[in-house]
Amino acid sequence: MSVACIVVAAGRGERLGEERPKAFVEVGGRPLVWHALQAAARSARVSYVVVVAPGGFEGDPALSGADAVVPGGATRQHSVANGLAALPPETGVVLIHDAARCLAPPSLFDDVAAEVLAGYDAVIPGLAVVDTLKVVDGAGRVTATPDRSQLRAVQTPQGFARAVIDRAHAAAVERGDTDAPDDASLVERLGLPVHVVAGHADAFKVTRPQDLLLASTVLARRAAAV
């Protein structure tokens, strides 16, 4: 069964404090999206990669390794839908990956795809939560303290059977649901189970300037290990 990956790179990323769209901010001399694209392309499972890019960046050299590049939409969900529409008809498994998680290793793509190929309709990587979390109301009062042993910090790539993720996005459009927190949430809203596998420490999301420093450190560590 053919596995394709959609790399979502259309966000603005205002919190990073850069003029360029976040996916085109450089770390280690290359844009974040370049690193994400290389990881997807090096996966032993992925055979086709689509990048969803901001308008005007579709021809950027950083995207030259993609099989297809399509423009993003008004929301992340719309951008993913554009990527889904660009997949080859023979695609049976879809991985959806945020370019901001630019250092997720190829092995994580392999692990998620393998679980979908084994029969799970939806698979997401996650890490155990180490902080104590509180639920608060609008006035800032604590209303609950969840058991962190049951919590996971979710990452990407998230993997899905093609028919399931297509159905989930179509159902969201019918509901008028336009800004889900992630693609797995759309599958959950269908009442279908989502399977969690072990995530990876390097698959952190670059959101703030200090995350760029962390990404540089990871790249230096990798270079020293070669």
Q: What is the pLDDT of residues 28-53, one digit of tens each?
A: 999 999 999 999 999 999 999 999 99
Q: Which domains does the chain have, with CATH numbers?
A: 2-225 (3.90.550.10)
Instruction: Report whether pLDDT(137) > 90.
Output: yes
Mean pLDDT of the region 67-88? 96
Rounded to 5 degrees, what are φ and ψ at 102?
A: -70, -20
pLDDT the model gives residue 14 = 75
Instruction: Report whether pLDDT(15) > 80.
Output: no
pLDDT the model gives residue 179 = 80
Q: What is the pLDDT of residues 96-110, one digit of tens each?
A: 999 999 999 999 999
Q: Record the tokens describing residue 184, joined without a space.
A: 């797995």
Q: How far apart are the first and last CA of the chain?
A: 33
Q: Record the tokens describing residue 174, joined without a space.
A: 């019918």
Q: What is the pLDDT of residues 144-182, one digit of tens each?
A: 999 999 999 999 999 999 999 999 999 999 999 888 899
Band the pLDDT of 221: cuts 50, 70, 90: very high
pLDDT the model gives residue 161 = 98
CA distances from 159 to 74, 110, 147, 210 (A): 23, 10, 26, 29
Instruction: Report whether pLDDT(57) > 90.
Output: yes
